[in-house]
Structure 1
Amino acid sequence: MLNLNQLKELYVKSPNWVKSIYSSIPYNIRNGQEYIQWIALLEKELNVEEYEIVKLKETILYAYDNTLYYKNLFDKNNINPYEINSRNDIQDIPFLTKKLIRENFYDLQAVNYPTNKKFSVSTGGTTGDTVKFIQSQNVWKKELAFVNNFFHKYDCTPNQLKVSFKIGNYKYTSQGIFWKKDYIHNSIHFSPLHLNAETVKYYVQEINKLKPLFFHIYPSNLLFLIDFMIEQNLFFNYQIHTIFLVSEGYLKEDIVKIKSFFNCNVVSFYGHSERILFAESISSYADIYQIDKRYGLLELINDNKQIVDNDIVANIVGTSFDNYAMPLIRYKTDDNTMYLDYNNNKISLIDSLRNQVYIDTANGMKISITSFSFSAFVNKIKTWQIYQEEPGKIEIVIVPNNNFTQKDKDGLELSISKDIKDVIQYKIKFVNQPLFTSRGKMVKMNKKPVKPLTK
């Protein structure tokens, strides 16, 4: 039986007619009984406070009984997992960091969970080295259900066409075609790297022809599109219903600009590759978020490792529910927020180090580094960095593992070439160790050349 990673690879390599046939299967049938059960759960009236504690106890006991890491951790710290009955009872459990996940990757995996029902995901590595996680297949169905449940609140269903901007291999740019169909998500992907003052008219023409009511898009890409549309006096000839912002931070003034230009709903949700937490924007300017306690447990922890329940900015720490392949307890994210209303689970805009890292293109566009991913080579490279001295030109520094082969090198170079060769000049350098700042810090995105430390 194929796992999700293998199914995804099979889908990507399939011809468009196969993808089209697959996408014609009704969405609920395509995603199976687990997805249907999650949708049913989200439509129920639940006491979410009680549900959160039930799932927390389930996660704690499951992790203790089935993973070597948590068995050793709890025993070493004299923590009795059977005595955990509230949020306060987990305060003595040490935090889980990305470093600890890399060091204890196999011990964190549940020994009872079948391999063919696992799949792997990776963080983009924008704030440190890429980290690989293992998830049980039900987690993907759960994520789909939560996202679609959120979309449905704005009348967006899976069979409705959506616009997104995504870096990738666009084969027909020489013919003025800067987009391609994503059949499985019923989306039209537009290339953010080819968008400029000369090409924007083609983007607008295609969108006007298709008239999609929904956008699912990085804020930076959308703002750039608006700027070019204003500059070229271009408009959509129909009314957009809702714009769903994804994966990047934004400011209230960004939302004001988007709403004033498109005159539509602008919303967002908080999530991440680790699939531990979920929160939905609930205010007119998407600056207040509602924590969904059915997804995972969220804590805010200050620099002194103390739990925060007031209006102080603190680090988001999450405990996963329903991941039977690799449960994650008190995992420290790179994200920060503060409570606006602790009792009603409302938090402010989420700030992340990931939101502050951009590549400058020659046409003036800022491309979030989250658009670039080396996750396919997570087991082949130690780390990577990007250096940029001027817009439109970058140097990519790769530190390979010992098992990095010529085939991997060719595959990596091909992957990068497909994504950016038309719009960004680049060089790839393979080195034995990463480059550091004068203070010894290893930074993923560097705007100026940095020399290696001398020993």
Structure 2
Amino acid sequence: MYHTPYQETYRSLQHTQRWTPEQIKDYQWQQLKTLLHHAYEHVPYYKKLFNIRGITPDDVQSLHDFQQLPFLTKETVQEHTNELKATNYPTHTFEETITGGSTGFPLRFYVEKGVWYAKHLAYIKTLLERAECHAMDKSVQITGSEKPWEYRPLSRTLVLSSYHMTDQNLPIYVKKIRRLQPQYLIGYPSAITMLATYMKHNTIELKAIFCYGETIYDWQREFLEELFQCRVHGQYGHREQSVLAGTCEKSNSYHIFPDYGLVELIDRNGRQVTKDGESGEIVATGFHTGIFPFIRYKTGDIAVYSTHHCECGRNYPLLKSIEGRVQDFVVSKTNRLVPFMGVHHLVAKSTENVKECQLYQERQGEIVLRVVRRETYSEDDARRIQESFHKRFGDEFSLTLTCVDSIPRTNRGKYQFLVQKLPIHFSP
């Protein structure tokens, strides 16, 4: 059923990689115009937004005009979820999803059931091919899964949990990896680095390593490439499907897929970033999100702009680096460092009644979860969070829930999901 969008997207990607800058510019402008008309005609939130401003999509005659439209914030998505649903999509095509990022927002929205994942796979296949890897190659995925390990025969993937990387499980992980003999590793760079540190004198041969979900530190990349003698590729994207980028065969710059969405970088003064080396917040408009349009969406992630042309020959827009999503660790009662990517998702899955949340640690093995409650929040929500936390981490941490009125922003205007007061010493 979803084979067609997968094949169409993959075939299209073979052409877009050879596009000239002019073709990219023309394509993106046509996609923007189509998206704006669709949103105005079928999405109540945008219809109201345009009417309030006294304009129609036809009044948006240039990219500069488009950039005068207001940003879509995570708060707005929270407050207007139903109004952001397109009315011309059948009910059965809506699939609710929850972000698992580090912004402090349990964000709920909708994707097009089946179709979004089929298209996503086409892009992932393209990123894998940059390292001469393929979707059906044997692989190891290290992510925040609940099971310590699981083998998926259809995709020939061994899934290992970053939450269960204990002294007891690491030898088992290594044994399973050696038995599988994967072509590549994929997962959070913090978790892969922890595994690699354990395997330091007992490595395997790999084609490539793919990192996502966190910022990759230079020392991590150097350590992994030296240890495994292969290239480490970075991927950047999010469930909102408004931006997707990845490194290539020749450089560590992030190549933004121009047919996935339009990306702007906005500095702290609200201006467009246009100079090489300057940083700004990623504001993205997705071209595959018609069912729930994200138009000028503030992602909360910071990136560094690049004007360079990559040796790979693609004319894609480049980001020198992604500075947001820096990985966080907490220290367990046994002095174990635990990467905390995905814990926010755990809270979001436990309850719909948490508006915002933040983790705080100043004592080993003790975590404080600061919660901004919705009016419907109750002790049952607190109990479910505690139960989910204990199910995932056992007795390694004690969790205290504290209700607060708000979560303070950082000086960049972002939420800081983890406030870590303990000194973290983690190096190969």
Indicate the TM-score class for this superposition, using the shorter chain for normalisation: 0.7 to 0.9
Q: Which letter does structure 2 place at the counterpart of 1:384?
A: C
Matches within 5 A, 1:257-272: 257-272=223-238
Matches within 5 A, 1:187-206: 187-197=157-167, 199-206=169-176
Q: Deviations over 1:61-96 (max 9, x none)?
A: 111111122122222223331243542230211111
Instruction: Call closer, same or farther: CA 1:327–1:161 in 2, change over 3 Å.
Output: same
Unaligned runs of 5+ in 1: 1-28, 171-177, 450-455
- Please tell me whether the aligned partners of residues 189 and 214 of structure 2 are also in contact (alpha carbons under 8 angstroms): yes
**Residue 259 of structure 1: CA displacement?**
0.5
- Please tell me whether the aligned partners of residues 304 and 323 of structure 2 are also in contact (alpha carbons under 8 angstroms): no
Distance 2:195 2:250 in 1: 22
Q: Which letter does structure 2 place at the counterpart of 1:214?
A: Y
**Residue 33 of structure 1: CA displacement?**
1.8
1:235 aligns with 2:202: yes
Q: Determine the structure 2 residue equivalent to 1:425.
A: 397
Distance 1:182 1:384 in 2: 33
Distance 2:249 2:192 in 1: 20
- Please tell me whether the aligned partners of residues 409 and 416 of structure 2 are also in contact (alpha carbons under 8 angstroms): no
**Residue 58 of structure 1: CA displacement?**
0.9
Q: Determine the structure 2 residue equivalent to 1:39.
A: 10
1:255 aligns with 2:221: yes
Instruction: Call closer, same or farther: CA 1:95–1:398 in 2, change over 3 Å.
Output: closer
- Please tell me whether the aligned partners of residues 74 and 107 of structure 2 are also in contact (alpha carbons under 8 angstroms): yes
For the residue of structure 2 that corresponds to 1:193, the secondary structure is helix
Q: Deviations over 1:104-135 (max 9, x none)?
A: 22222212222210112222353232211222
Q: Determine the structure 2 residue equivalent to 1:379.
A: 352
For the residue of structure 1 that corresponds to 2:162, the secondary structure is coil
**Residue 317 of structure 1: CA displacement?**
0.6
Instruction: Call closer, same or farther: CA 1:365–1:448 in 2, change over 3 Å.
Output: closer
Q: Determine the structure 1 residue equivalent to 2:25.
A: 49
Distance 1:290 1:436 in 2: 33
1:313 aligns with 2:279: yes
Instruction: Call closer, same or farther: CA 1:357–1:194 in 2, change over 3 Å.
Output: closer
For 2:212, which of 236, 246, 258 is the aligned residue?
A: 246
* 31-40 or 265-274: bigger deviation: 31-40
Instruction: Call closer, same or farther: CA 1:274–1:438 in 2, change over 3 Å.
Output: closer
**Residue 331 of structure 1: CA displacement?**
0.8
Distance 2:357 2:152 in 1: 29
For the residue of structure 1 that corresponds to 2:41, the secondary structure is helix
Q: Determine the structure 2 residue equivalent to 1:15.
A: none
Q: Determine the structure 1 residue equivalent to 2:144.
A: 167
**Residue 199 of structure 1: CA displacement?**
4.4
Q: Determine the structure 2 residue equivalent to 1:359.
A: 330
Q: Determine the structure 2 residue equivalent to 1:115.
A: 91
Distance 1:102 1:128 in 2: 12
1:82 aligns with 2:58: yes
Distance 1:416 1:37 in 2: 41
Instruction: Call closer, same or farther: CA 1:320–1:134 in 2, change over 3 Å.
Output: same
**Residue 432 of structure 1: CA displacement?**
4.9
TM-score of the superposed pair, with normalisation by structure 2? 0.84
Distance 1:71 1:193 in 2: 44
**Residue 35 of structure 1: CA displacement?**
1.4
**Residue 281 of structure 1: CA displacement?**
0.7
Distance 1:292 1:215 in 2: 23
For the residue of structure 2 that corresponds to 1:240, the secondary structure is coil
For 1:151, which of 119, 128, 143 is the aligned residue?
A: 128
For the residue of structure 2 that corresponds to 1:107, the secondary structure is helix
Instruction: Call closer, same or farther: CA 1:136–1:193 in 2, change over 3 Å.
Output: closer
**Residue 261 of structure 1: CA displacement?**
0.4
Q: Over aligned residues, Cα RMSD in angstroms?
A: 2.9
- Please tell me whether the aligned partners of residues 123 and 130 of structure 1 are also in contact (alpha carbons under 8 angstroms): yes
Distance 1:435 1:328 in 2: 25
1:140 aligns with 2:117: yes
**Residue 410 of structure 1: CA displacement?**
5.6
- Please tell me whether the aligned partners of residues 398 and 428 of structure 1 are also in contact (alpha carbons under 8 angstroms): no
- Please tell me whether the aligned partners of residues 370 and 404 of structure 2 are also in contact (alpha carbons under 8 angstroms): no
- Please tell me whether the aligned partners of residues 386 and 399 of structure 2 are also in contact (alpha carbons under 8 angstroms): no
- Please tell me whether the aligned partners of residues 125 and 131 of structure 1 are also in contact (alpha carbons under 8 angstroms): no
**Residue 358 of structure 1: CA displacement?**
2.9
Q: Determine the structure 1 residue equivalent to 2:320.
A: 348
For the residue of structure 2 that corresponds to 1:349, the secondary structure is strand
For the residue of structure 2 that corresponds to 1:205, the secondary structure is helix
Q: Deviations over 1:16-60 (max 9, x none)?
A: xxxxxxxxxxxxx7x422212211221235533222112111111
Q: Determine the structure 2 residue equivalent to 1:447.
A: 420
Q: Which letter does structure 2 place at the counterpart of 1:332?
A: K
Matches within 5 A, 1:52-71: 52-71=28-47
Could you tell me the percent identity over the aligned residues?
26
Residues paired across the two proteins, number: 404
Distance 2:308 2:52 in 1: 32
